[in-house]
Chains A and B, each alone.
Chain A
């Protein structure tokens, strides 16, 4: 017997036959199929109890209630809170994708200190004690040198207790340089201050209006509280309430509006006054309100009747004369019409003349403190802390002028002018600030004119970011003291933005902190304690949570259980509604357009930014999920598309999808062309929210940051940024 080729084959065949009657092949097939359907690297949430935590979303000032679904200890989904007065179960794409922020790889894992050059990305991990000591040392130095005003804080947090704590800290420390990002609400509130004589927040009772004119506001593109606005839009459709959208571009809002009036951008105030002209000349205004509660009507009336006839306004705005007349009649006769302003999301304040013209239009039809109209709200009434006792250093510091000039001289009405703050700091002529603490903000990305902001930051000795994620400002900072993310901390949202009732929401910890972070409120208290003296004495709380509990005392139980409380504002009696010199509503304002930046000869086109719910433009940046929802005609690969009218593109020799170089006086960028009949000729529209340089591969390097191409333009009347665009040119790439 020898092992030849035939016997070997026979052995193999025998083996094969034998194998077929063993479980081996069948069991292996089964196991391999199980393995291949359950790849071990596919993440599967841990098994455990399913629970919901009621909280409030603080990613924008909208104040939506959220119900956060957890499996065991992990957040798996965020839903809108059913029955919540703001969003009643609805949620926006940003709020929905909160878990991607919570578990993001770009979370700042703990306190960091820069060891390379600014923005180089070289960090050393430090302990919380070291981090607080380092900031406190710099702050103590500034105070001891007699210049506490050289500390500035950029605080993007809402109107809650945390912001009140920061205000208190700055007062007792002695620096007036507390800067907040400005939005259309700043311009509108300033208009209200001039016309009502009171500092108040404004709310719009849009659910009860029966005719709405939007002067460029992105009703379903993120204006106000986005989910509430989408619900309001649905309600209008059900109740057949007309929405008239005045905007040069066919936005989602314009597409869903009942009438779309394309207008030359920047002339909205003239249109508002043109409507007022028709209402006045045809006697359609609310005589009761005008006669009994207003002042300065005759002078204003004369100005409007002489200067803003439909013919003249048609010439200024490009809107047909007949449309103006018909719209004015419909608006006035509706009985509960209301006009709103603030372009797109309302992130840029806009001209004061515009806010005043729109508010005058509202007053003319009596839509002030009336059902379906504009309401003034008292703001945050929860904070009733004892007065701070300041020392001489602080008192002297608080006497010095703010770097942005707000609150004195020309801009006595203004409370914060971030555009002027960064311009003055970059300019360096005035006494610059030495240290800047950035809380809940990312000015290096969100402020128009990012180059100026960068120059301003370069003049600092110390830039501290409190960001939970590695955003642009954090990446450029000297120290990062990461705050808990909104799903890990207590925070109150004192008033949901744009609502006509005071809705107070509470964000509460849904999960324990995932990183070595600390509540920024606790860090402020720790800094105060480290500085010592009267600064430490001003804060009697053990921690931020204790402070919050004490501040919200009566509402605390309801807030922790339900997540929100509603304070129904008692409308002021008419005799007290307008604390002006005359005791009445003051008609004022006119049309004083602020020219945008750039030479029309060198830059014949106009770049306008636009907003979309799919792109977050604020300090909370896009999540990977949101970026996935952005269409190919907006972002393809790393290329951003600008919308251009075919006529404009044709004269520049550009076609659909072609690459082009977009230049403005502020900079230039490579873009691609998307032809759209839905945009007025001569304009180039670019989406906001792209072009990040920080964060991760899902976001960084995609598209262009429109704020790098547009700079702020100061409104001489308010000091606020009135820029709605910038002169630009397109050339083949």
Chain B
């Protein structure tokens, strides 16, 4: 009796264990799948909010009218880059309504007439701590606008602006692929993307790794590109720390 009972118990116990194991595995998979769905699907949608631009802007049309990017996005006399045009620049041409579009009417009535700057959302705006010189890249290294800004110059409408709810910066900085993959140089504008291009431009530089927490690319490629080897940077550009100079790009 007891043996049978024991046996019977043993059998039913095994089955229960198998069943239990399957259940646990199932729940593991469920949890795994759910988090994948949240992480890859829900999270990006929650992280960004879509904000409408004040009105639409047709880059292609303007490009045809003025001929090039530099007419509006120019270098000032002191070499600094003007970025997004100010209202004063626009009104050089747009003192009155120039076309028949609704956007033109909004622009002239809401901004030109009221002398308010247009509060554009800027896709390429980097965090305030980033120092970036357009002159070094466009004038000296002769890079095209497209390498970083893509084909915005030929677009007829502004794409929706997706603002990161935590940082307040555009989704364009991290890139539209939440995994961080990119196909074009202009798909992402994080520090590693700076480093990647600098590595290509400068080639591999054999030098002793400096202590620090910045990425390998950055230490070995970006800094030597900025500081030639015959300068102090070869052993770390900061006199105080003997490390590479973060302040070259970080304000």
Contacts and interface: CB of A to CB of B under 8 A. Distances in A.
Interface of A: 1-3, 6-8, 10-19, 21-24, 27-28, 30-32, 34-35, 37-38, 40, 44, 47-50
A546 B105 CA distance: 39
B25 A19 contact: no
B24 interface: yes
Contacts of B129: 37-38
Contact of B164 (A14, A17, A31): A31
A30 B192 CA distance: 13
A8 B27 CA distance: 7
Contacts of B179: 23
Contacts of A13: 28, 31
Given A37-B127, A38-B167, 17 more contacts: A1-B23, A6-B24, A10-B28, A13-B31, A18-B35, A19-B35, A19-B39, A22-B40, A23-B39, A23-B43, A23-B44, A23-B179, A30-B174, A31-B164, A38-B127, A44-B128, A48-B86
Contact of B83 (A11, A28, A47): A47
B150 interface: no
A32 B164 CA distance: 11
Interface stretch (B74-82, B95-103, B198-206): B74-82
A47 B82 CA distance: 9
Given A7-B23, A40-B168, A14 B43 contact: no
B128 A23 contact: no
A24 B38 contact: yes
Contacts of A15: 31-32, 34-35
Contacts of A30: 174
A73 to B, nearest CB: 10
Contacts of B28: 10-11, 13-14, 17
Contacts of A47: 83
Contacts of B167: 31, 34-35, 38
A11 B31 CA distance: 4
Contacts of A8: 27
A11 to B, nearest CB: 4
A23 B27 contact: no
Contacts of A24: 35, 38-39, 43
Interface string B17-49: 001100111111111111110111001100100
Contacts of B32: 14-15, 17-18
B228 interface: no
Contacts of B174: 27, 30
A22 B169 contact: no
B178 A27 contact: yes
Interface in B45-95: 47, 76, 78, 80, 82-83, 86
A37 B82 CA distance: 25
Report whether over half of chain B's contact residues are helix, strand or loop; otherwise say mixed: helix
B169 A34 contact: yes
A49 B26 contact: no
Contact of B31 (A1, A14, A23, A32): A14
A32 B28 CA distance: 29
B119 interface: no
Nearest to A72: B86
A339 B170 CA distance: 67
Given A15-B34, A49-B80, A7 B39 contact: no
A501 to B, nearest CB: 33
Contacts of A12: 31
A23 B180 contact: yes
A31 B23 CA distance: 37
Contacts of B164: 31
B166 interface: yes
28 contacts: A3-B27, A6-B24, A10-B31, A11-B27, A11-B30, A13-B28, A14-B32, A15-B32, A18-B32, A18-B33, A18-B35, A19-B35, A21-B39, A22-B38, A22-B43, A23-B39, A23-B40, A23-B43, A23-B44, A24-B35, A28-B166, A31-B167, A32-B166, A34-B127, A38-B129, A38-B167, A49-B76, A50-B80
Report whether over half of chain A's contact residues are helix, strand or loop; otherwise say mixed: helix
Given A32-B166, A37-B127, A22 B39 contact: yes
B27 to A, nearest CB: 4
Contacts of A21: 36, 39
Contacts of A28: 166
Minimum-distance CB pairs A-B, first 3: A22-B39, A14-B31, A18-B35
A14 to B, nearest CB: 3
B47 A27 contact: yes
A26 to B, nearest CB: 9
Contacts of A14: 27-35
B39 A6 contact: no
Contacts of A32: 166
A453 to B, nearest CB: 45
Interface in B91-145: 127-129
Nearest to A18: B35
B82 to A, nearest CB: 7
A47 B126 CA distance: 12
Nearest to B46: A24
A11 B44 CA distance: 22
Contacts of B127: 34, 37-38
Nearest to A31: B166
B123 to A, nearest CB: 15
Interface in B156-197: 164, 166-169, 174, 178-180
A1 B25 CA distance: 12
A515 B82 CA distance: 29
B172 to A, nearest CB: 14
B43 A18 contact: no
A16 B80 contact: no
A16 B31 CA distance: 8
Contacts of A18: 31-36, 39
Nearest to B36: A18
Interface string B211-225: 000000000000000
Contact of A6 (B20, B31, B47, B82): B20
